[in-house]
Chain A
Amino acid sequence: MTKMCNKTNHPVSKPIAVAVKEIIQENYRTVTIVTDVRLDAKPGQFVMVWHPDKAEKPFSITTASPFSFTVQDVGEFSHFLVHKIKLGDKIWYRGPFGDGVYQVVKGRKILVAGGCGCVPLHALAKTIFKQEGTKNTLIIVGARNSKELLFVERFRSLGFRVEVATDDGSMGFCGNGVELLVKHLSEKSASCVYSCGPSPMLKALAKQCHQLNVPIQVSLEEIMKCGFGVCGSCAKQGRLVCKDGPVFDRWL
């Protein structure tokens, strides 16, 4: 019998060890771990970071070249990464993963980051910067208070206009990022709102943008196991957050 189909080769997804070249303190409980490899990654893609002493969890990619990722001390694994990883140590990753990535559209863009949501939006901002510069884009960075803010200087140093929103008013607009977004949209609409942040924030953002008829691209978070679309752990409304996402054009 003749072969009906050519077998594709089986892509390997085993953890790869890389050396830590730099550790950047982003705020009092957040660091960016910079490695010595380059990734071929699109904005919004993520990696599974593993340390044999601890665990394996998904992390957004802060920069692809060199590959860096940002960790906030919120749980056992992130505490370990923030406090125990030193220069020269090894860290393991699988990926990058995710077919659903941020797509740069023409026209006015507003990026809304909540907490650690700055991370994939940073990768997007770099892409926008390279493709068309900074003039069509406004970045809103939200946090509970000024101590929790992230990446404001990173965005500003690229030349973007950045507005800050803090829940307690300790810096910038007093209120959350979605409220500040609505204020801006009421003055002038946008061709797309890009966001990443805590689920309640994204849900509220999606609702507001839907009412105002503004397209969105939001990066979602779910518990993941394989990262490459087989185990179904991250299934949401028939979509796989790891494979179909993590960026979607609506709240799922």
Chain B
Amino acid sequence: MTKKMQGKNRLKMKFINRYLESPLILASGILGTEAKLMARVAATGVGAVTTKSCGLEPRSGHQNPTVIAFEHGLLNAVGLSNPGVEAQVTEIKKLKKLLKEQQLKTKVIASFFGFSSQEFIQVASLLAKAKPDYLEMNPSCPNVASENKECFSDTPSGIYELTKAVKKVAGDIPLIVKLSPNVADIVSIAKAACEAGADAICAINTLLGMAIDLESGRPILTNKMGGVSGPAIKPVAVRCVYQISQAVDVPVIGLGGVSNADDALEMIYAGASAVGVGSAVYQNGIEVFSNINDELDSWLIDKKIKSIGKLRGKAWSSDKNV
């Protein structure tokens, strides 16, 4: 924690088996490539940092253009570029060492993917050796659909089988399952993940989208389609968190379009136990995390609220029959 952050007990939030110093989490795929960079984010006062999703083998991802900013958010098809699980284990160990040296209580979430259930299981068991605080399974990247050998995230049965298998190798490291909004019924998928033993749900991954250049008449992204994030998807994310958090008994990380304290509170009101921040780094830089923390803390003091956790699910009372 930065000195400024010390004593901000109002922001402490219970998440699965422990407390996060702040409900804010660095979302997967943003800045999560290097230990020193993640330690820099940790120093801004986030509760946890998520490493960029890693797979079994090193992968360079799609060709540029891979990321653009449109009027209301980002569109990306980075395509799961990563150094492979072996290098990632080293990086996570390095990160944990840096956090310890800097006396930061920031938790580490290790995100991972596979192109088959066998790969998911292999990567999870190898990643577990780095002893991250949490594992986050990402079966929901919209940018690699053609490479997936199985459909994981679009059916309850697919997510059930995968979660069950991965849970067996995760040992005592809690497993977060990240869900795609590109499905008809996200609640049934969240329920299936929880029945299979998921310890938390992360909602939502990006929405599948596209942008076309008018001068050339071509899709801008080399992959043609990509994931939409940022302010444009916030109402979708809030809706998903609202539905899922009432349907399951595990905590939910609310993620999608959060760029200020109002957005973070909206997620918590919807039922989130932690709030992911990603694309907002584009507009506001790495300082976005400390800015949101400061704004939340001042607001809680002003409202005489002792713990932000008390606000979780405040919007539920409006509708008990979702």
A: which residues have CB within 8 A of B? Answer: 1, 3-5, 7-8, 10-15, 17, 48, 50, 52, 55-57, 90, 92, 94, 224-233, 235-240, 243
Partner of A52, one of B31, B218, B260: B218
- Residues of chain B contacted by A240 (CB below 8 angstroms): 31, 37
Chain B residue nearest to A5 (CB atoms) is B260
Chain A residue nearest to B37 (CB atoms) is A235
Q: List 8 A-B contacts (CB under 8 A).
A: A4-B262, A11-B69, A15-B68, A15-B220, A52-B218, A226-B67, A236-B34, A237-B36
In the assembled complex, B88 has its CB within 8 A of some CB on chain A: no
Please judge, given known A-B contacts A56-B64, A228-B282, whether A14 and B69 are in contact too, CB under 8 Å: yes
Please judge, given known A-B contacts A13-B69, A92-B215, A232-B31, whether A225 and B78 are in contact too, CB under 8 Å: yes
- Residues of chain A contacted by B281 (CB below 8 angstroms): 229-230
A250 to chain B, nearest CB (A): 14
Instruction: Report how far A45 CA is from B73 CA in the complex, Å.
Output: 23
- Residues of chain B contacted by A94 (CB below 8 angstroms): 65, 68
B295 to chain A, nearest CB (A): 5
Asked if B64 contacts A238 (CB within 8 A), the reply is no
Residue from the set B30, B32, B34 with the largest chain A CB neighbour count within 10 Å: B34
Asked if A11 contacts B283 (CB within 8 A), the reply is yes
Asked if B34 contacts A52 (CB within 8 A), the reply is no
- Residues of chain A contacted by B52 (CB below 8 angstroms): 232
Instruction: Report how far A137 CA is from B220 CA in the complex, Å.
Output: 43
Instruction: Report how far A17 CA is from B70 CA in the complex, Å.
Output: 16
Instruction: Report how far A238 CA is from B64 CA in the complex, Å.
Output: 23
Partner of A17, one of B39, B216, B222: B216
Please judge, given known A-B contacts A5-B261, A10-B231, A17-B213, whether A231 and B63 are in contact too, CB under 8 Å: no
Asked if A15 contacts B71 (CB within 8 A), the reply is no
Asked if A57 contacts B33 (CB within 8 A), the reply is no
In the assembled complex, B81 has its CB within 8 A of some CB on chain A: yes
Asked if B262 contacts A235 (CB within 8 A), the reply is no
3 closest cross-chain pairs (CB), A and B? A238-B36, A232-B33, A226-B67
- Residues of chain B contacted by A8 (CB below 8 angstroms): 283-284
Instruction: Report how far A243 CA is from B288 CA in the complex, Å.
Output: 15
Please judge, given known A-B contacts A13-B69, A56-B64, A238-B40, whether A231 and B295 are in contact too, CB under 8 Å: no
Asked if B30 contacts A230 (CB within 8 A), the reply is yes
- Residues of chain A contacted by B76 (CB below 8 angstroms): 226, 231
Asked if B282 contacts A225 (CB within 8 A), the reply is no
Asked if B282 contacts A235 (CB within 8 A), the reply is no
Chain B residue nearest to A57 (CB atoms) is B64
Chain A residue nearest to B221 (CB atoms) is A56
Instruction: Report how far A23 CA is from B294 CA in the complex, Å.
Output: 52
B: which residues have CB within 8 A of A? Answer: 29-34, 36-37, 39-40, 52, 61, 63-74, 76, 78, 81, 211, 213, 215-216, 218, 220, 222, 230-231, 259-262, 265, 278-279, 281-285, 291, 295, 298-299
Asked if B283 contacts A10 (CB within 8 A), the reply is yes
Chain A residue nearest to B286 (CB atoms) is A229
Instruction: Report how far A226 CA is from B255 CA in the complex, Å.
Output: 21
Instruction: Report how far A230 CA is from B281 CA in the complex, Å.
Output: 6
Partner of B279, one of A1, A13, A92, A230: A230
Partner of B285, one of A50, A229, A238: A229
Please judge, given known A-B contacts A15-B213, A52-B218, whether A230 and B67 are in contact too, CB under 8 Å: yes
- Residues of chain A contacted by B298 (CB below 8 angstroms): 4
Instruction: Report how far A1 CA is from B81 CA in the complex, Å.
Output: 41
- Residues of chain A contacted by B285 (CB below 8 angstroms): 229, 243
Partner of B262, one of A5, A15, A55, A228: A5
Asked if B215 contacts A17 (CB within 8 A), the reply is yes
Partner of A15, one of B65, B259, B282, B284: B65
Instruction: Report how far A48 CA is from B66 CA in the complex, Å.
Output: 11
- Residues of chain A contacted by B231 (CB below 8 angstroms): 7, 10
Instruction: Report how far A4 CA is from B299 CA in the complex, Å.
Output: 8
Asked if A231 contacts B66 (CB within 8 A), the reply is yes
- Residues of chain A contacted by B67 (CB below 8 angstroms): 225-228, 230-231
Asked if B40 contacts A14 (CB within 8 A), the reply is no
A138 to chain B, nearest CB (A): 35
Asked if B70 contacts A231 (CB within 8 A), the reply is no
- Knowing that A224-B64, A230-B30 are A-B contacts, what are 14 other residue pairs whose CB atoms are under 8 Å apart, sorted by A's residue number? A1-B265, A4-B261, A4-B299, A14-B213, A17-B216, A90-B216, A92-B213, A94-B68, A231-B31, A232-B34, A233-B78, A235-B34, A238-B39, A238-B40
Instruction: Report how far A14 CA is from B262 CA in the complex, Å.
Output: 28
Please judge, given known A-B contacts A4-B299, A10-B230, A11-B283, whether A230 and B68 are in contact too, CB under 8 Å: no
A161 to chain B, nearest CB (A): 39
Instruction: Report how far A56 CA is from B68 CA in the complex, Å.
Output: 11
Asked if A55 contacts B213 (CB within 8 A), the reply is no
Instruction: Report how far A12 CA is from B275 CA in the complex, Å.
Output: 25
Partner of B29, one of A4, A7, A92, A231: A231
Residue from the set A13, A235, A236 with the largest chain B CB neighbour count within 10 Å: A235
Instruction: Report how far A204 CA is from B180 CA in the complex, Å.
Output: 48
Asked if B37 contacts A4 (CB within 8 A), the reply is no
